Amino acid sequence: MTNRVFTQRDIMQLPQRERANFINSLSGFKSANLVGTQSKEGLNNLCLVSSVFHVGAHPPLVGMLMRPHTVRRDTLQNIKDTGVYTLNHVHVSFADKAHQCSANYPGDTSEFEVVGLTPKMSSVVKAPFVAESIISMALEVEQINVIELNQTELVIGRVVEVVLADNILLNDGYVDIEKAGSVAISCLDSYHKTARLDRYSYAKPEQALSSIWLNDDPKS
Amino acid sequence: MTNRVFTQRDIMQLPQRERANFINSLSGFKSANLVGTQSKEGLNNLCLVSSVFHVGAHPPLVGMLMRPHTVRRDTLQNIKDTGVYTLNHVHVSFADKAHQCSANYPGDTSEFEVVGLTPKMSSVVKAPFVAESIISMALEVEQINVIELNQTELVIGRVVEVVLADNILLNDGYVDIEKAGSVAISCLDSYHKTARLDRYSYAKPEQALSSIWLNDDPKS
């Protein structure tokens, strides 16, 4: 196998679209979530994000990085206006519909309607879930910080409601997102299903790892 | 299919370890990277992180969330001392060794040695790559911010060197991290390989998506 090496100068000399694909690939696999919001006027909005990440469990915090608010961004505006939003796992059966939500529709268009997904209001916050998602959560904004390096906006929300299928939650709190059919994203536009390698025991020095998967739930 | 609903109160009443598993599962699939650093004294250190995420392509920025610096954290200390680090994709063949790197070894132990991975110094920064990784990059710290909500530390680095196998880079800049054998993580301890569903064209209103995968590279 031959390696290729890119210096900082090589990276900066890539054409813009190639550089975007290249750098977006490097961080590794990403989560695939649809963000559900409502405008002040009550119009539903749905937006695909691959930038959701875990921030902490106590309190339960989830982060999401949004592109600069220099052009109209309905989702970010709605989140700022209402202080709430939902996150909904993209399921293998509607990855194409989720991707289509990234198209730049007019502000008065509900992406739910044009792509064919079903809004279902949260009982806790004023924002719609995606009824087709196997795992959904409602969040209240805790903070929104601009990252000065590139003007992206880091939204951190507190999880205030979780709705999920009851056959994917194990006794130890692990949610089997693979069984739930949640997809992973690479780069900007590639969607992947997963196949578990293993679940490993808590790692300690001088102690061999063991599988904790077979103990909990049959692999097949 | 029956749904289960967790209110904020339900979440807070979960036992600590169950809540940690539960909330860590909710954000979706995560990247799997080993962080390579060197101490001021020149000792190599290797640490598994599932919190690496894309921040921007121009300039090329990658983020990583680190747990609170209240106990000894060699990796974060090394990054603060030297201003540089490497990120190395975890390959399916060494997911177990990567997981073992999360054990709390004494500060004078090199995780490379105890788990059996090979350090290879970057030619640009004073930090070791994992020679076994198919995709590696070297970074210089741009900023480290404490997230006051839970005292985690957000490290943002600028990519200054990329080393990857030359058979995984497509013409449009997309790096085929699935072909590279990069793994995804769910929750704290579950490792997954991936199978591509598709790569979709740039989404536009009133235009059906098409696959851009077959055009670029045969699926099989």
- The CATH homologous superfamily of the domain defined by A8-216: Electron Transport, Fmn-binding Protein; Chain A (2.30.110.10)
Q: Which of B26, B142, B184 sits opposite A159 (nearest CB)?
A: B26
Sign of the Cα torsion A188, B192, A152, B37 reads negative
Write out pLDDT tens, residues A45-103: 999 999 999 999 999 999 999 998 766 789 999 999 999 999 999 999 999 999 999 99
Tell me the average pLDDT of chain B. Answer: 94
Tell me the sheet residues that pair with A157. A62, A141
- Closest of A32, A79, A49 to residue A183, by C-alpha: A32
Q: Is the pLDDT of residue A217 over 60?
A: no
Write out pLDDT tens, residues A24-50: 999 999 999 999 999 999 999 999 999
Work out the minimum CA distance from B216 to partner chain A, whole angstroms.
13
Beta strands in chain B (DSSP E): 3-7, 30-31, 33-38, 44-49, 52-57, 60-66, 84-89, 119-121, 128-130, 135-147, 152-165, 184-186, 190-199
- Integer Cα distance of A212 and A214 in angstroms: 6
Percent of chain A with pLDDT over 90: 92
Q: Which residues of A touch B27 (CB under 8 A)?
A: 31, 33, 52-54, 62, 87
Contact A203, A209 (CB under 8 A): yes
- Integer Cα distance of B79 and B142 in angstroms: 11
Phi, psi (deg, nearest 5) at residue B169? -100, 120
Work out the minimum CA distance from A37 to partner chain B, whole angstroms.
17
ipTM surpasses 0.90: yes
Q: Which of A55, A174, A198 sits opposite B191 (nearest CB)?
A: A198
- Integer Cα distance of A146 and A182 in angstroms: 29
Domain edges within chain A = 8-216
Contact B51 A52 (CB under 8 A): no
Q: Which residues of B touch A19 (CB under 8 A)?
A: 57-58, 60, 173
Work out the minimum CA distance from A41 to partner chain B, whole angstroms.
23
- Please count the residue pairs, one from chain A and one from chain B, whose beta carbons lie less than 8 angstroms apart: 380
Q: Which of A26, A53, A166 sits opposite B27 (nearest CB)?
A: A53
- Mutate which: B3, B5, B53, B87, vs A, most A CBs within 10 A: B53
Tell me the sheet residues that pair with A130. A119
- Per CATH, the number for B13-216 is 2.30.110.10
